[in-house]
Amino acid sequence: MARFYPLNHDLFANCCWKHIGIFSRYAIEQGVNHIISYEPESSNFDLLLKNLSPAVFSAEISIELHPKAVGVECAERTLVRARNENDGKVNTWRHSLVEYTQYVDRSTKLPSASQKGNLDRINVQCQSFFQDVLRPGITFVKLDCEGAEIEILLSHKASMRSSWLDVTHLVVEWSITKERRVDVFHEMLANLRSAGFDVYYDGMGGWWDTNSSVLWPYNQDILIFATMRN
């Protein structure tokens, strides 16, 4: 990734659920000296605090950690903790805002004793991505928000060059397994291109990508790389 999408950026915003600091540490190793990270789930945020402790890095590295979600508007939102897997493995990576959760309450017996029938729902603070998260100087943004990126990138502000301030590089995990309509995916791409980004993703021009009437046929999400045109 570093060869084709270099991380030689001064200020990096990482908005990522299941975020415990791994990518941020990699970014620091690549030369990023200012990290701004958002993670709304408390146990993941505790790991984020540990892994990105200022004591670990030199004084030149500036790190901001926010125990908040990110969306279109600043408000209190509901975060749903993902149910553990059927084999009992703790599920730390599928927590999402209630609008985008793939889980529902269950009254029947579940495969594992570690699985809860009634899901945990927690009130969390949500920051507005374009109003509160982005700021002058941020050049690299990573969005992996378990569905919240859908509302962010489909908003009108996402289509405006001025909304992105100094951002030149954007990495997004688009939750197409939550919103499978390819025409909606294309709407998001149109917003990014209107804002001035060139976009790249695996499968560009494939059979599913040239027919907006289809639904996403696969079980994995799409990773999008976008660079701002000069």
- How confident is residue 4, by pLDDT bands cut at 50, 70 and 90? very low
Distance set, CA 156 to CA 159, 164, 187, 190 (Å): 6, 12, 11, 11
CA angle 227, 125, 91 (to 5 degrees): 75
Distance set, CA 168 to CA 36, 85, 190 (Å): 16, 38, 17
The CA distance from 101 to 95, in Å, is: 7
On the question of pLDDT at 13 being above 80, the answer is no
Helix (H, G, I), strand (E, B) or coil at 173: strand
Query: With contact defined as beta carbons under 8 Å apart, do 11 and 34 qualify?
Result: yes
By C-alpha distance, which of 217, 223, 132, 213 is closest to 170? 223
On the question of pLDDT at 72 being above 90, the answer is yes
pLDDT the model gives residue 22 = 85
pLDDT the model gives residue 26 = 84
The CA distance from 76 to 74, in Å, is: 7
Mean pLDDT score, 114-136: 95
On the question of pLDDT at 115 being above 90, the answer is yes
- Beta strand 34-38 with 62-66 is parallel
Share of the chain above pLDDT 70, in %: 91
pLDDT digits (tens, 9 = 90+) for 19-65: 688 888 888 888 888 889 999 999 999 999 988 887 677 778 888 89
Find residue 38's DSSP bridge partners. 15, 66
pLDDT digits (tens, 9 = 90+) for 137-183: 899 999 999 999 999 999 999 999 999 999 999 999 999 999 999 99
- Beta strand 169-174 with 222-228 is antiparallel
Mean pLDDT score, 73-97: 92
Phi/psi at 133 (5° precision): -80, -55
The CA distance from 199 to 15, in Å, is: 19
Full-model pTM: 0.90
Helix (H, G, I), strand (E, B) or coil at 225: strand
Helix (H, G, I), strand (E, B) or coil at 51: helix
Find the Cα–Cα–Cα–Cα dihedral 149, 8, 47, 170, rounded to 10°: 0
Mean pLDDT score, 179-203: 96
The CA distance from 93 to 113, in Å, is: 19
